[in-house]
Structure 1
């Protein structure tokens, strides 16, 4: 038997939770999430972008989050995030706002807008608390009066979930998240004791783990995600390197020319050269990762000739 695939992979996550045949699985997961937020449970949901076989995990047009609506018209978006993009809060608000605004057709009244819920499942720590489930609304600071309940954002942080601190046989959201986190199959029976739909999610994962085509598409997506993480890390390191190099060179030249005037000019020139060096280092890392030159031009602002020269000098 093949090793189980990782359900945190967003392509696989959508196969398990975002397909029409597993709509009951998604509904059960959402209700466990909402129960912890002390809000009414859902009776039914409609998938707005169900998983289709034609969905390509490497196609930029493929949407690998899950979008659904309730019978009252409320919109829900569920997204799995493996890596910290360091802009998660703003990214969340941006996509929430797009979902909210997309409801309004020209000529319609604002009163027709329904509430929108974003649920982000994170495989990294984001918030400065120890809660694995954090929920945000729009409230007045002193009195906690709600301005509107139209905005609701959940963060489910998997690294903050400790299996030892939960009575797993009781069921609940924690059991679902432990499954996603990759708890061993030895614990699956206990996790599903009071979660029948979770058993269906596990069965789907086992089936997909033995399906050759699903494994190939999963592995392609995993490679893409890891490459993206490497690019982000390279860019971050290059930025830090460029700033430090610029500061060091700028201070050195500034001292030579005089304290006040020299430091100012030296820092400016040093930062400029440091940034240039950092950009070049970033371009080199992209080349080594196999990124095409056209993409590197867009990402760094360097010319094609400059990038080819860097490529030649690195050989």
Structure 2
């Protein structure tokens, strides 16, 4: 039997959770996520961008998110992020704002705007807390009163889910996250004991793992994601190196100026100051004039 693919790959995640035939899988996952936030369960969702054959890794600029609408008209966006692209909070707000503002056509009333919920499943730690599920709303700082309920941001940070965490027998979001994190198959039976719909997600993962075309597309996407992450890390490392080098140069320049000023105050000859500080005689003359 073929080795199981990683369901955290955004291409594979959308195949499992964002296809019409697995709409019940997405609904069950959303309800477990919302239950932890104290929200009532959804009864129905409509996929706005269901998986199609066009959702392939060949389009390197594609964002393989999942967008859905509830029966009440609220919009939900779910995105799997395997690698840290940095500026997560700004990126989240940017895509939330596009989802929110995109509801209106020109000339329509703001009253038509519906609540938008963003759910980011992160394969890296992001927030300075220990909880794996964090929820944000727009609230007044001191009293906590809500300004408006239209914004809701969820961050599910998988690294904060203890590796020793065991399936929750009464069901819950932890079971879904353990599946996504790649818990061993011998845990699957316990995971599905009180999460029957999770079995369908597992079956889909097993099927895709044995499908040659799905594996090829998965590997294409995995390579792109790794390359993208490497380029980001490389750019950050280069920027840090330049910053450190700039800091060293600035420190040396400051030290040279301090030496020159002290020697000028002592009436030392400009040529000697230039030799001692490393500054040019022109620089020292200019410094003397400024003093």
User: TM-score range, shorter-chain basis?
Assistant: 0.7 to 0.9
Change in 2 beyond 3 A, CA 1:39/1:27: same
Deviations 1:139-160 (A, max 9, x none): 1111111111100000000011
Counterpart in the other structure of 1:113: 113
Shift of 1:85: 1.8
Report matched runs for 1:58-77 at 5 Å: 58-60=58-60, 62-77=62-77
Secondary structure in 2 aligned to 1:117? strand
Question: What 5-or-longer segments of structure 1 have no aligned partner?
Answer: 267-315
User: What is the rounded CA distance, in whole Å, between the counterparts of 2:90 and 2:242 in structure 1?
Assistant: 25
Conserved? CA contact 2:16–2:201, under 8 Å:
yes
Query: Where has structure 1 moved over 6 Å in runs of 4 or more?
Result: none
Shift of 1:162: 1.8
Counterpart in the other structure of 1:249: 249
Change in 2 beyond 3 A, CA 1:217/1:5: same
Question: What 5-or-longer segments of structure 2 have no aligned partner?
Answer: 262-276, 278-291
Secondary structure in 1 aligned to 2:155? strand
Q: Give the number of equivalent residue pairs.
A: 263
Deviations 1:184-215 (A, max 9, x none): 00100000001111000000000000000000
Change in 2 beyond 3 A, CA 1:163/1:233: closer
Counterpart in the other structure of 2:221: 221
Conserved? CA contact 1:58–1:224, under 8 Å:
no
Conserved? CA contact 2:16–2:205, under 8 Å:
yes
Shift of 1:45: 0.3
Higher relative contact order (CA 8 A, sep 6+): 2
TM-score normalised by length of structure 1: 0.80
Return the structure number with greater helix share: 1
User: What is the rounded CA distance, in whole Å, between the counterparts of 1:210 and 1:27 in structure 2?
Assistant: 25
State yes or no: 1:47 paired with 2:47.
Answer: yes
TM-score normalised by length of structure 2: 0.86
Q: RMSD of aligned C-alpha atoms?
A: 1.8
User: What is the rounded CA distance, in whole Å, between the counterparts of 2:173 and 2:217 in structure 1?
Assistant: 28
